[in-house]
Structure 1
Amino acid sequence: MSEFDVIILGGGPGGYIAAERLGHAGQKVLLVEAVALGGTCLNVGCIPTKTLLNAAKTFHHAQHGAQYGVDGGSVSFDWERMQTWKAEVVGKLVAGVGVTQKRAGVTVINGHGTLMGPGRVSVNGETHTSRHVILATGSEPVMPPIPGTGGNPHLVDSTGLLALEAVPERLTVIGGGVIGVEFASLFSMLGTHVTVIEMLPEIVPFMDAGIAPMLREALTGIDFRLGCRVTGLDGGTVAFTTAEGAAETIDGDVVLMAVGRRPVVRGWGAEDTGLEFSDRGIVVDDRLRTNLPNVWAIGDVTGRSLLAHTAYRMGEVAAANILHPEAHRRGETMRWNTVPWAVYSNPEAAGVGMTEQQATQAGHTTLSATVPGYMSGRFVAENGFRAPGGAKVIVDADTLQVLGIHVLGSYAAEMIWGACAVLETELDLHDLRQVVIPHPTVSELIREAAWAIKA
């Protein structure tokens, strides 16, 4: 039996960042990972997806460079080399996580961890004790019980799609959320005929109602079937009913199930310890405490926000509260309204805070403005006047406090952090208008939108 200050179950973004912060603070930490350090995000999620997306975007830009005076001639892509590059990137980053843990003095064990109760964890048959336990068991793809899904060789989840040996001629994507849209964009840029079947009336349902259709229309080469419910699969044939109730089918070489992810709340002891949880995740407060003493939960397993950067912050918040249990500093609680989202399609989209619809539902009277991408000189220089893009700023009509900022177009995911800072520091419209933004940058669209509000 070994004793530690903190044991962490799960070596994904939340788990490894918490281990690093605690280790550097002098805590004796055990990090338990069943598969590979980095978790889903680094191994079969964020990083490999963005690696392939960048390659596809490079190919796409090379094909369409003539309008900028650049003729790439006969351009081709090599899927096998793209996969090799993806593996190189993932391998080096996973190794880097291992190095950071070693530098922080963290003990890493590869194996299946089981929570035996507060302060007790079993790994590979050996029991370890600690003052605190952090649960970071992550999430997994949802595979709904649709007829024809079981044992279907044409059906893959996101992990399976990343491992394809060849680019399919036809891809059917079930689900128009972030995962579905990103993969649809990736393969459409490589020449695949892509169809996205989405049950709701619009893609990426958490996006602002004014931005989501702009993104969908910008994703050229993809056939979106909205308001449709999948009824069954027969190999690569997907049967569904349309919004009007008609029965239709679509044939594909590969079918991606991308209807979301769910927290992994079973299989590691949660059922036997009195932990409060449901299929939606482990119940936590804003300091990431569970109902069990000195047991914390972070990342996807909480079901609060299934995003790697949320897990990072949750890991830091849990670590801060473990290190300073009596302190109540602002940095030791989660502020969910300042967590951004991003879609890394072509074009990108990102946002933080409320949509206008959410703000209205929350009781705000709102003022807002949306400006097109061509109001940024750099955007035009790099994309042209007709390229889709823009920014939207939403404020409370009475206080002028900024409630939400949403961006569509090149660099959206890179610039949204500035919008996060606006919400973190609770700036109002007058404050935002005074922020000096470099010119020429696409980020200036946020400033343009702020000045376009009639206030």
Structure 2
Amino acid sequence: MTLNILENDMNKPSGSSAVNTLPKVTRKVSVAIIGAGTAGQNAFQQASKIHDDIVIINDGFWTTTCIAVGCMPSKLLIAAADRAHEANNSAEFGIHATVQIDGKQVMQRVRDERSHFASYIKKQVDSWPDHKKIAGRARINEQGLIEVNNELIEASKIIVATGSSPSIPDSWADKLGDTMLTSDSVFELTDLPKSMAVIGTGAIGLELAQAFTRLGVEVTVFNRAKRVAGLKDDDINNKAIDCLSHELTMHLGSTINDVGSQANADGKRSSGFIDYEDSAGESQQWQGEYVLVATGRRNNIKQLGIENLEVELDDKNRPKNLSKKTGQIGDLEVYIVGDANANLPLLHVASDEGYSAGSMVCENEKAAYIRPPATPFSIVFCSPQIVNVGMSLPEIQQDPSLEYVIGRVSFDNQGRSRVMGVNCGLLHIYGCKKTDRILGASMVGPDAEYIGHILATAITNDLSVKDMLDTPFYHPTILEGLRTALRDVQYKMEIPYQSHDTQQDSF
């Protein structure tokens, strides 16, 4: 791709200013990879099997979003929060305890364990030849050359794996100043704050809001819609709000009019504030120590100069004409993978896309095929957990050819859930009457991550509801709730208009 651009410029008349100002190339490579996260690292390792003249360019930490600011530190914080919550909420079992939370130790362990996970990535990166690694911010210029530090690199093939970063509404960073936190900065806190607002009820917002609440921080959650975790099944959404409201103070359906910071009386630091209208339209103000902005993430591609490689972006910075099978842009020798393409920003997807792109540039057609998750599957690791598998209810309802039923089970009185004191939840399984197959499911409840995996396996392997019910369900387990919902699906397929008790299992 870049060679074609340069050749076109070289063919211009000798008096052309384009020729006179043509930049001098300092390095030519077969493959340049921009970004060294999960997708970039996998692309580099795969492409290196064939090409020796390869370079990987990275701005910032040489590890992954998951390890540095995503999955791992958030789960470390949740693990500490769960320990505190169980100790503080065991009176019903006759266990009485007074918990002392050392905020500095909590946050130090998060960073220490994060460094432990990162050390494995560092060891791998350190094994790569130094001349193939460039630390710096890359930009693609009008000639299709990669500018980085003092180098101009001409690459025959380019893999873009620049990841994502928090999406922050315009002017909020300036207005909030050092009172603003994002998922990229929150784990750098050296101690637990006294108070915090969390804006956004997606996976990041819910997980961090609940974790900090359980660790003794006074947390208030704001969201424009009366929804959490992007749930599209109204009954599951309402149940999730009900379960989470036992712990979280949430202002759902609120409109934020302004944010800012103001100096405290002690003059040592500022506090943040949020001016908002509540769901009833009343003007309110929140004040506290920090404002955690969890309003999603956007791909890091806008400032790269990708348009100079004839790559077009839509209004949400998503590349047009992107092959979801290979990550390639049309017939250009440009591949955009991982969070950078804004397709499915998940680690296992980024890993597969990076592997595929690295294989593609090696002309390894067999391995150069992205294997997208056969079944859509998402988990929010709050408590109770929230899971979506397969088709959503609106997707099913929009397809007139699908005659469906909804199998239901409440976990409010499910045997093992009640024994463990985690009995708040609801599972819906969407079954197809014509095929006896599971179309999808949505759930809030205990052990949802495991129930979700079982349902995803069933959908992926085309198991019938009968196949599922033929498998053993051990008593007493929370997984018995899955059997109850499957039985309800089966019953409604046969007698769809009669009520059926889905409240509890046999004891």
Q: Same fold (TM over 0.5)?
A: yes
In the alignment, the residues of structure 2 paired with residue 376 and residue 32 of structure 1 have an alpha-carbon distance, to the nearest angstrom, of: 53
Alignment correspondent of 2:304: 268
- After the TM superposition, which of the residue ranges 273-282 and 314-323 deviates more from structure 2? 314-323
Alignment correspondent of 1:306: 345
Q: Kindly state the Cα deviation for residue 77 of structure 1 after the two structures are TM-superposed.
A: 1.6
Q: Deviations over 1:222-279 (max 9, x none)?
A: 1211211100024222111233433222222211211111111222221322112233
Alignment correspondent of 2:481: 445
Q: 1:30 and 1:215, CA in 2 relative to 1: closer, same or farther beyond 3 A?
A: farther
Q: Kindly state the Cα deviation for residue 101 of structure 1 after the two structures are TM-superposed.
A: 4.8
Q: 1:439 and 1:122, CA in 2 relative to 1: closer, same or farther beyond 3 A?
A: farther
In the alignment, the residues of structure 2 paired with residue 448 and residue 104 of structure 1 have an alpha-carbon distance, to the nearest angstrom, of: 53
Q: Deviations over 1:178-220 (max 9, x none)?
A: 2211111011112222221111121222453322222222222
Between Structure 1 and Structure 2, how many residues are aligned? 449
2:218 is the alignment partner of 1:181 = no
Alignment correspondent of 1:198: 223
Q: Secondary structure at the match of 2:406?
A: strand
Q: 1:94 and 1:165, CA in 2 relative to 1: closer, same or farther beyond 3 A?
A: closer
Q: Secondary structure at the match of 2:175?
A: coil
2:123 is the alignment partner of 1:99 = yes
Alignment correspondent of 2:18: none
1:74 to 90, 98, 118: 98
Contact persistence 2:404–2:432 (CA under 8 A) = yes
Q: Kindly state the Cα deviation for residue 137 of structure 1 after the two structures are TM-superposed.
A: 0.9
Alignment correspondent of 2:332: 293
2:52 is the alignment partner of 1:52 = no
In the alignment, the residues of structure 1 paired with residue 363 and residue 472 of structure 2 have an alpha-carbon distance, to the nearest angstrom, of: 36
Contact persistence 1:118–1:292 (CA under 8 A) = no
Q: Secondary structure at the match of 2:32?
A: strand
In the alignment, the residues of structure 2 paired with residue 438 and residue 26 of structure 1 have an alpha-carbon distance, to the nearest angstrom, of: 50
Alignment correspondent of 1:86: 110
Contact persistence 1:376–1:441 (CA under 8 A) = no
Alignment correspondent of 1:281: 318
Alignment correspondent of 2:249: 223
In the alignment, the residues of structure 2 paired with residue 210 and residue 256 of structure 1 have an alpha-carbon distance, to the nearest angstrom, of: 28
Alignment correspondent of 2:497: none
2:385 is the alignment partner of 1:348 = yes
Q: Secondary structure at the match of 2:185?
A: helix
Q: Deviations over 1:262-317 (max 9, x none)?
A: 11122222132211223332232221221352211112221222233332233244
In the alignment, the residues of structure 2 paired with residue 20 and residue 147 of structure 1 have an alpha-carbon distance, to the nearest angstrom, of: 39
- After the TM superposition, which of the residue ranges 109-118 and 168-177 deviates more from structure 2? 109-118
Q: Deviations over 1:346-373 (max 9, x none)?
A: 2222222222122212443321212123
Q: Kindly state the Cα deviation for residue 334 of structure 1 after the two structures are TM-superposed.
A: 4.6
In the alignment, the residues of structure 1 paired with residue 156 and residue 478 of structure 2 have an alpha-carbon distance, to the nearest angstrom, of: 48
Q: 1:52 and 1:147, CA in 2 relative to 1: closer, same or farther beyond 3 A?
A: closer
2:425 is the alignment partner of 1:389 = yes
2:369 is the alignment partner of 1:332 = yes
Q: Kindly state the Cα deviation for residue 48 of structure 1 after the two structures are TM-superposed.
A: 1.1
Residue 315 of structure 1 aligns with an amino acid whose one-letter code is G
Alignment correspondent of 2:138: 113
Task: Identify unmatched segments of 5+ residues in structure 2.
Answer: 1-25, 262-271, 494-507
Q: Kindly state the Cα deviation for residue 54 of structure 1 after the two structures are TM-superposed.
A: 0.8
Q: Secondary structure at the match of 2:257?
A: strand
- After the TM superposition, which of the residue ranges 266-275 and 374-383 deviates more from structure 2? 374-383
Q: Deviations over 1:108-148 (max 9, x none)?
A: 43322334599964443334455532211111111112678
| Larger Rg over CA atoms | 2
Alignment correspondent of 1:315: 354
2:406 is the alignment partner of 1:368 = yes
Question: Percent identity over the alignment?
Answer: 23
- After the TM superposition, which of the residue ranges 187-196 and 333-342 deviates more from structure 2? 333-342
In the alignment, the residues of structure 2 paired with residue 383 and residue 4 of structure 1 have an alpha-carbon distance, to the nearest angstrom, of: 60
Q: Secondary structure at the match of 1:90?
A: helix
- Give the alignment's TM-score, normalised by structure 2: 0.79
Q: Secondary structure at the match of 1:256?
A: strand
Alignment correspondent of 1:400: 436
Q: Secondary structure at the match of 1:150?
A: helix
2:443 is the alignment partner of 1:379 = no
- Give the alignment's TM-score, normalised by structure 1: 0.87
